[in-house]
Amino acid sequence: MTHAELWERHKAVMPDWLSLYYEEPIEIVQGSGRRVTDGEGNSYLDFFAGILTNAIGYDIAEISDAVREQLSSGIAHTSTVYLIRKQIELAEQIAKLSGIENAKVFFANSGTEANEAALLLATQNRRSNQVLAMRNSYHGRAFGTVAITGNRGWSASSLSPVNVQYLQGAYHYRSPFKNLSDADYIKVCVDDLRNVIETTTSGDVACLIAEPIQGVGGFASPPDGLYGAFKEVLDEYGILFISDEVQTGWGRTGDNFWGIQAHGVVPDAMTFAKGLGNGFAIGGMVARPDLMDSLTANSLSTFGGNPISTSAAKATIDYLLDHDLQANAAKRGAQLADGLRGIAEEFPELGDVRGKGLMLATEIVNPADNTPDAATTAKLQQETKNRGLLIGKGGLYGNVLRMAPPMTLTEEETTEAIEILRDSFNTLR
């Protein structure tokens, strides 16, 4: 069956709002290392990794063996009403890695569920439905997480279970304060935070939730230290700080294991998902024990932290740590960033290179006035695909190319990707 035929079947039974990449969408049917093959036999170097989810790559023996071993027991599922050994082992490891003192861990099935759990616990703990979030943010597609998403392209409803106020600071490139030094930029954003609390809330805010680097928002990155400065103000009011590490966790940003560590602060809670399972569905939250234990009603998670997903996740973390993939993300990320900056020197359409480690993006603009250029962005994404490279797209205006390959990426593969990207930009001339 051709991709075109499969696409027709997709359109007949799937929602119109379920967006697909490319003029002619593809089915990925096989993978090995950092490369995948589509249903028509075309091979690609994968630089988006299932939206930052296949963190280690494809067909990794250690992860496959861990899943097979669990399956061989005949137990794929029991639910959280029973003890789950791999869940406990994984929780112990994440709690230690979190840096949060005496941390406790709750497992769900996705980043959306993780952020929903964080909202529930924070509002319960503070007895307040007031929440602070960042402009240009994205935290999931459920009712509560859509409500705290500061990007209208991904927020389908004005209805909300929480009272949300949005802050300045995360999207530096198009901020009204972008021409300030980093120190002055942080100062005005902190002043804005304090002003928002004092003028638009009753003071007893539950939490601020923020992505250290905004994922769907186009890998928008604030100056290091911004959230550390925010935390000082939050602590004055007793407001909890939740770091959404769904895309920035597990060493992907290179210099740090968690994205928030670049800001010199330990949050009250962190949410996680995506890369933890290397393709298996898992998410969760790690938090201070008093926050995690503040829920007074009964609760559970039917599928969260099931034996299969936690076996895969435990093997993924072990592989990541044993092979020091955080260091590799830093090295290959620096190589890729240098290559992108070199392209930017040749092509004024590449307005901004940003991100950290193997979480990098380019913002595509009209050189005449620096306005967002979504059409050229779509063209470039298609051109890279035609040359055998898969990259993501995003940003508030749909004009950002996102690159987040598996963290096992090699030097040779990085060079190959840079050459494909340069060839794709050459089609603009």
pLDDT for position 228: 98
- The answer for residues whose C-beta is within 8 angstroms of residue 195's C-beta and 6 or more apart is none
Helix segments in 148-247, DSSP class H: 182-200, 226-237
Residue 117: band (very low, low, confident or very high) from pLDDT cuts 50, 70, 90: very high
Read off φ and ψ for residue 17, nearest 5 degrees: -80, 0
pLDDT for position 19: 87
Domains 3-59+324-426 and 65-322 share a fold: no
pLDDT in tens, 316-334: 999 999 999 999 999 999 9
pLDDT for position 82: 96
| Residue-range domain boundaries for the chain | 3-59+324-426, 65-322
Burial degree of 238 (CB within 10 A; 0-12, 13-18, 19+): exposed
65-322 is classed in which CATH architecture? 3-Layer(aba) Sandwich (3.40)
pLDDT in tens, 1-49: 899 999 999 999 999 999 899 999 999 999 999 999 999 999 999 999 9
pLDDT for position 156: 75
pTM: 0.96
Q: How far apart are CA 309 and CA 330, in angstroms?
A: 27
pLDDT in tens, 248-287: 999 999 999 999 999 999 999 999 999 999 999 999 999 9
The CATH code of domain 3-59+324-426 reads 3.90.1150.10
Q: What is the DSSP letter of 223?
A: P
